[in-house]
Amino acid sequence: MSTPEIFRSADKDSLVEAVTERFITTITAAQAARGTASVVLTGGSNGIALLEALAKDSGDIDWSAVDIYWGDERFVAADDSERNAGQAQAALLDHVPVNADRVFVMASSDGEFGDDIHAAAADYAERLAARAGEGETVPQFDLHLLGMGGEGHINSLFPHSEATGESRASVVAVTNSPKPPPKRITLTLPAIARSREVWFLVSGAEKAEAVAAGVAGADFMDWPCAGAHGTESTVWFVDPAAASNLP
């Protein structure tokens, strides 16, 4: 488990610029070392702004050799504008030469499992396991991106929820999310822990308390963000407002 690193930016725009630059460096380095890279995307304003910036310039990233996953998804119809996958498609994936076989979208509520959210979550767990090494259920991600809510939720892991307390399964269904829509599919803390790097992309004063709790290593049932760590690095990209409760 890595010690949190804090990257303070002057504002939200320069936060996205810094993340974009470091994303390019990290993914090209992974490809240079292993011929391939894997990244877990996040929704939210900063997560999508990063993808838009990458669509304009992603340096030497070989997009055909990147595995793309999502940390969570809203279990709604495929064409619902709330879907993280649809937003990522429009922001980036439609504009770069990704390999469609390496883009792992979580099922929608009108997909092959219909409204069976548990089957849809189990399917994602199986697809992760199929890409994992022997004896593992989750591939080693090079990078897991995370947005965060003001109460410290990451992916669809909300405070004091069963999903946040999950200690074994890699993917679970959430049927009572306090933030709409209620039905979601999410990677769990043990799945996030398979990441070399975990990056939080956080701006705004309403996130300041959660940032401080996450960096200080609070109880993850109170502040789910405090339970997410990369094996090599954990980086909090914060603007001045989000950093305002840090020592």
Q: How far is CA 89 from the centre of its chain?
A: 15
Distance from C-alpha of 230 to C-alpha of 243, rounded to nearest angstrom: 20
The torsion defined by the Cα of 175, 181, 187 and 189, in degrees rounded to 10, comes to -80
Would you say 62 or 181 has its CB closer to ligand 6PG?
Answer: 181
Residue 35 Cβ vs ligand 6PG, minimum distance, rounded to whole Å: 31
List the interface residues with ligand 6PG, window 112-171 (CB under 6 A): 147-149, 156
What is the footprint of ligand 6PG within residues 12-41 (CB under 6 A)? none
Instruction: Out of 19, 23, 41, 44, name the contact with ligand 6PG by CB under 6 A.
Output: 44
Q: How many CA atoms lie within 13 A of 150 on its CB side?
A: 6
Residue 204 CB, shortest distance to ligand 6PG, in Å, is: 6
Burial of 130 (0-12, 13-18, 19+ CB in 10 A): exposed
Residue with smaller CB distance to ligand 6PG, 69 or 137 = 69
How many amino acids of this chain bind ligand 6PG (CB under 6 A)?
A: 11
Look up residue 105 and give its amino acid.
V
Single-letter amino acid, residue 244:
S
Q: Determine, following the binding rule CB under 6 A, whether residue 185 of this chain makes contact with ligand 6PG.
A: no
46 belongs to the binding site for ligand 6PG (CB under 6 A): yes
Query: Side-chain half-sphere of 241: how many Cα atoms within 13 Å?
Result: 11
Report the 10 Å Cβ neighbour count for 29.
Answer: 12
Chain centroid to CA 119: 21
Among 179, 182, 219, 232, binds ligand 6PG (CB under 6 A): 179
For the bound state, the minimum distance from the C-beta of residue 32 to ligand 6PG, rounded and expressed in Å, comes to 30
CB of 43 to ligand 6PG, least distance (A): 4
Residue 182 CB, shortest distance to ligand 6PG, in Å, is 11
CA atoms within 13 A on the CB side of 100: 1
Query: Least distance (Å) from ligand 6PG to the CB of residue 238?
Result: 11
Q: Summarize as ranges the residues that interact with ligand 6PG (CB under 6 A).
A: 42-47, 147-149, 156, 179
